[in-house]
Amino acid sequence: MQTNSIAAVARTLKEADSILISGHVMPDGDSIGSTIALGLALGKIDKNVAMTSPHQVPDIYKFLPGSNCVQQGMPEGKFDVFVALDCSVPDRLGDELQSLVNDSVTVVNIDHHQSEKPFADVNYIDSNSASTGEIIYDLLKEMNIELDKNIATNLYTAIASDTGSFKYEGTKPTTHHKIADLLQFDVKVAHVSKSIFDEKPIEVFKVLQIALPTLEVSNCGKVAWISFDLMAKDRISAKDEHTEELVDYPRRIKGVEVALFFREISTGSVKVSMRSNYFVDVNKLAARFNGGGHKRAAGCLIDGGISDVREQIVAAAIEAVQRGSLND
């Protein structure tokens, strides 16, 4: 994939006076942490910086120093450079901000997702990196901007988020070397980790109380699922974000290969989240139902009653596991 050098990114930013930075829709820790870290760092070298996000900063990232400087949507004024972070396609910037990609502004894209077609004027894409936060770390070194506690806390959050606290496959020796450096700036590891991984609003537990009785495992023990229907949703004032972790419960059962989460989003419409642990390509499984995603995490939206949908998808998942086992 054609990509510019990190030095080219550094040069573009150094030459700019005013810079707008944004991450992606439904921002996660990598998106928000990278945005703030880069924003604070560029502020230190007297750039006129604005940080924004297509959607509001989620509550769990409001503890981040600098999070109050992140606006929402398109800010007023003109910018020399627009930096898009953690976005593999312009769509990920949301309707408003992606219009900048065809504007006269110089667009810089910094990302770690594999991408077919770089969309910016300057593209730095490193799919070997486990997070965009790691690339921002490299960029700040390249620009000789000194780190501080606030920048380090944001970069730590970005990197820890996208590696699941250093548990995921992409975690490399360089990831840990960077974190070792960041910890020198007195990052409150336990506090940050609690905030982003551990602490959850009471609604998450209320959702769990309702959903857990629906947890089931197939006879073969390799497919498990959990459900959340409209009636359950109405019983408590839970938002969709409070159901996000439910799929982890079937996924974590020893022996399970494919985990499914069925969420009724309206009468006759069911969202299915799919996860696999080791060998089944759930991207392919989801594609059979007009969905998609990654090998280990995918999803689809199906019309039908929740129990019919469940029956159909569970059968397909069991078949996929059987086929996958044969190929092992």
- What does the binding site for a copy of itself look like in residue numbers (CB under 8 A)? 164-169, 171-177, 179-181, 183-184, 189-190, 193-194, 197-202, 205, 208-209, 212-213, 215, 217, 249, 251-255, 277
We find the least distance from the C-beta atom of residue 23 to a copy of itself, in angstroms, to be 24
We find the least distance from the C-beta atom of residue 192 to a copy of itself, in angstroms, to be 9
CA distances from 125 to 26, 129, 209 (A): 21, 9, 42
Cβ contact 82:70 at 8 Å: no
Q: How far apart are CA 82 and CA 105, in angstroms?
A: 7
Cβ proximity to a copy of itself: between 47 and 172 the closer is 172
Number of residues that this document lists for the chain:
328
Helix 29-44 vs helix 149-162: crossing angle, to nearest 10: 160
Cβ proximity to a copy of itself: between 180 and 326 the closer is 180
We find the least distance from the C-beta atom of residue 191 to a copy of itself, in angstroms, to be 8
We find the least distance from the C-beta atom of residue 171 to a copy of itself, in angstroms, to be 5
We find the least distance from the C-beta atom of residue 194 to a copy of itself, in angstroms, to be 7
Sign of the alpha-carbon dihedral angle for 10, 13, 14, 20? negative
We find the least distance from the C-beta atom of residue 195 to a copy of itself, in angstroms, to be 9
Cβ contact 44:143 at 8 Å: no
Q: How far apart are CA 225 and CA 214, in angstroms?
A: 8
Cβ proximity to a copy of itself: between 98 and 276 the closer is 276
Cβ proximity to a copy of itself: between 115 and 277 the closer is 277
Cβ proximity to a copy of itself: between 93 and 211 the closer is 211
Nearest-5° Cα angle at 70, 64 to 71 = 150
Residue type, 66: G
Cβ proximity to a copy of itself: between 104 and 219 the closer is 219
Chain centroid, CA 128 distance in Å? 16
Cβ contact 9:110 at 8 Å: yes
